[in-house]
């Protein structure tokens, strides 16, 4: 092999390695993506059953019902629409009605009930995930006693 052939082989191998690495990273990201929705978005958008998403909003007042064992059902609302959620597990200590929440999971085959495997609640009076707060304020919901001025 001449010097030129060796150099070309090394460059070709490097390009092949980088291409394989980029493809693996892209594949991993496509598998781990969970899109964020508020209940009002779900009325306009069709989400296939089994597709992992994050559902954010406020826990609807009067909707929390404890079932057998650690199963809890509640509704997430953005004051325009509401989505029923079922969760089996231990809820965060700060989970309560009227507070911000993000649930991650998927819709069941019927498409009417969201089954969450992770529930995150806000951790103090002033915090709400930015995506949830922005979407709620865009729909005119008052957060933290401040009026949304457009």
pLDDT, greater one: 145 or 94: 94
37 is in an annotated binding site: no
Q: Is 87 annotated as a binding residue?
A: no
Look at 98 and 15; give whichever has higher pLDDT. Answer: 15
Pairing of strands 114-121, 100-107: antiparallel
Q: How far apart are CA 24 and CA 27, in angstroms?
A: 5
What are the Cα distances from residue 17, in Å, to 5, 14, 43, 104? 18, 5, 44, 35
pTM of full prediction above 0.85: no
- pLDDT tens for 72-120 read 999 999 888 899 999 999 988 888 888 889 999 999 887 788 999 999 9
- Cβ contact 42:117 at 8 Å: no
Q: What is the pLDDT of residues 21-69, one digit of tens each?
A: 999 988 877 666 668 888 888 888 888 888 888 898 889 999 999 988 8
* Measured distance CA(36)–CA(49) in Å, rounded: 15
């Amino acid at each position: 092999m001449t010097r030129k052939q060796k150099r070309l082989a090394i460059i070709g191998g490097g390009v092949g390695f980088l291409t394989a690495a980029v493809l693996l990273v892209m594949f991993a990201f496509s598998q781990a993506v969970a899109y964020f929705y508020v209940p009002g978005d779900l009325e306009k958008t069709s989400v296939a059953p089994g597709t992992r998403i994050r559902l954010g909003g406020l826990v609807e007042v009067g909707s929390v019902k404890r079932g057998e064992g650690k199963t809890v059902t509640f509704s997430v609302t953005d004051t325009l629409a509401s989505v029923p959620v079922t969760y089996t597990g231990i809820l965060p200590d700060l989970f309560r009605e009227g507070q911000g929440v993000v649930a991650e999971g998927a819709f069941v085959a019927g498409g009417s009930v969201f089954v969450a495997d992770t529930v995150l609640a806000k951790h103090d009076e002033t915090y709400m995930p930015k995506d949830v707060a922005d979407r709620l304020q865009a729909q005119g919901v008052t957060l933290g006693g401040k009026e949304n001025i457009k």
